Amino acid sequence: MTRAAVPGLPSPHPIGALLPALFADDDFAQRFTAGLDTVLAPVFATLDNLPAYLQPRLAPADFVDWLASWVAVETDGAWPLEVRRAVVGRAVELHRWRGTRRGLVERLRLVLGVGAEIVDGGGAAWSTTAGADLPPAPSGELLVRAWPLSALSGTEPDEGQVLAVVRAGCPVHLSCRVEILPGPPGRAEG
């Protein structure tokens, strides 16, 4: 969809009909205002449909990326349009869970259609025993095991794409590592 001049798009408010009666029969005035109507018709069409522009599932493709900037969500132009629409539409939920296991698993599922298990090396530990030994230092590594959600797809997730999504949502103090699995861990084979 474009918001530029659209040949043949009628104006809902033709300027020539709004002119004083003196110009109703003036050929030059009518042709001149018809040219202005051609320029203004897309503006009226855009304004009349403004609510649709603000809904990611209805907005024009080029407008979805602009909406993404409004809600501060990162999209990649290489993602299919429907994935970008879904990410923008669920931006509030994704922001709520950003930096958590749940948020990372949901983003991987939404963007790449993969299941994931997150093994986090960081965290906190405590003991009810006074004077107990300190827990071991966290590893500082985030391990993501990813697998295709659909057995019908038959293709393994691309490790580079998974790593890119993980790095975008991984806390900066952790290093990230990705393992690609054929299916969910612990699944009985046979």
DSSP string, 46-94: HHHTHHHHTSTTTS-HHHHHHHHHHTT----TTS-HHHHHHHHHTHHHH
Enter the pTM of the model: 0.66
Contact 36, 71 (CB under 8 A): no
Report the first-to-last Cα separation within the chain, whole angstroms.
50
3-state percent breakdown (helix, strand, coil) of the chain, nearest 5? 40, 10, 45
Output DSSP code: residue 146: E
For 100-184, CATH number out of 3.30.43, 1.10.40, 3.30.300, 2.70.98 equals 3.30.300
Q: What are the start and end residues of each CATH 3.30.300 domain in the chain?
A: 100-184
Within 8 A by CB and 6+ apart from 155, the residues are 148
Contact 118, 104 (CB under 8 A): yes
- E-strand ranges in the chain read 114-120, 141-148, 175-180
**Tally of CB atoms within 10 A around 108:** 24
Pairing of strands 141-148, 175-180: parallel
Residue-by-residue pLDDT tens, the chain, 190 positions? 456 666 788 888 899 999 999 898 999 999 999 989 988 888 888 888 889 889 999 998 888 999 999 998 888 888 899 999 999 999 999 889 888 889 999 999 998 889 999 887 666 777 788 888 877 776 778 889 999 987 655 678 889 989 988 888 777 778 888 999 888 887 644 4
Q: Is 142 exposed, middle or buried (0-12, 13-18, 19+ CB in 10 A)?
A: buried
